[in-house]
């Protein structure tokens, strides 16, 4: 097992910041057309030294374990960053202590990066507008799965394509 796989396994065993955030300011959801995995990220801002910075971030993911490991790292790394700083982070940056993503896993990091940039770019800052109208990731997944658009792979699956 490579160092990356070892560290990813540890991160998956104890993921940080996993779950919906009820008082989030922003939310971003992306799905990968290649593998069918989906990821949603919530962001909450705070004011520090006159700057608007990320107070906390959380995520929910269905599918790939690498995306879960990266999202777990990324949601820790984002704390204290401004929107602009967060937008500049590459998938490798977001992987933090996991180390460089193997070539086959780069798109897993991009899924996290895309969810983050969607949250930062496209969704209203107002909690009233953003969050209550946002369906849960599970409901999105269920309806997409019923329409035969995606295949759901349980998190405890050995399969980590
Ligand atoms: Fe789909 Fe990793 S995000 S395999």
Centre of ligand 1 to C-alpha 39, Å, is: 10
Burial per residue of 33-67, b for 16 or more beta-carbon CB atoms within 10 angstroms, e otherwise: eebbbbbbbbbbbeeeeeeebbebbbbbbbbbbbb
CATH of domain 3-133: 3.90.1010.10
pTM of the predicted model as reported, rounded to 2 decimal places: 0.78
- Each of the 161 residues of the chain gets a pLDDT tens digit; together they read 789 999 999 999 999 999 999 999 999 999 988 899 999 999 999 999 999 999 999 999 987 999 999 999 999 999 999 999 999 999 999 999 999 999 999 999 999 999 999 999 865 544 444 444 445 666 666 666 666 666 655 565 555 54
Cβ of 152 below 6 Å from ligand 1: no
| Residue showing tokens 């949601």 | 75
Q: Is 35 marked active-site? A: yes
Cβ contact 86:54 at 8 Å:
yes
Packing angle, helices 3-13 and 65-77, rounded to 10? 80
Q: What is the residue extent of each domain of the chain? A: 3-133
């Amino acid at each position: 097992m490579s160092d990356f796989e070892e560290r990813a396994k540890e991160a998956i065993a104890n993921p940080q910041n996993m779950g919906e955030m009820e008082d989030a300011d922003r939310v971003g959801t992306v799905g990968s057309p290649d593998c069918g995995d989906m990821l949603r990220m919530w962001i909450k801002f705070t004011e520090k030294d006159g700057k608007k910075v990320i107070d906390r971030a959380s995520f929910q993911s269905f599918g790939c374990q690498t995306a879960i490991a990266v999202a777990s790292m990324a949601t820790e790394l984002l704390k204290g960053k401004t929107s602009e700083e967060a937008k500049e982070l590459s998938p490798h940056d977001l992987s933090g202590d996991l180390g460089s993503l193997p070539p086959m896993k780069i798109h897993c990091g991009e899924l996290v990066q895309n969810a983050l940039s969607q949250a930062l770019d496209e969704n209203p800052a107002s909690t009233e507008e953003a969050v209550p109208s946002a369906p849960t990731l599970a409901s999105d997944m269920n309806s997409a799965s019923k329409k035969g658009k995606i295949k759901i792979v349980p998190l405890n699956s050995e399969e980590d394509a």
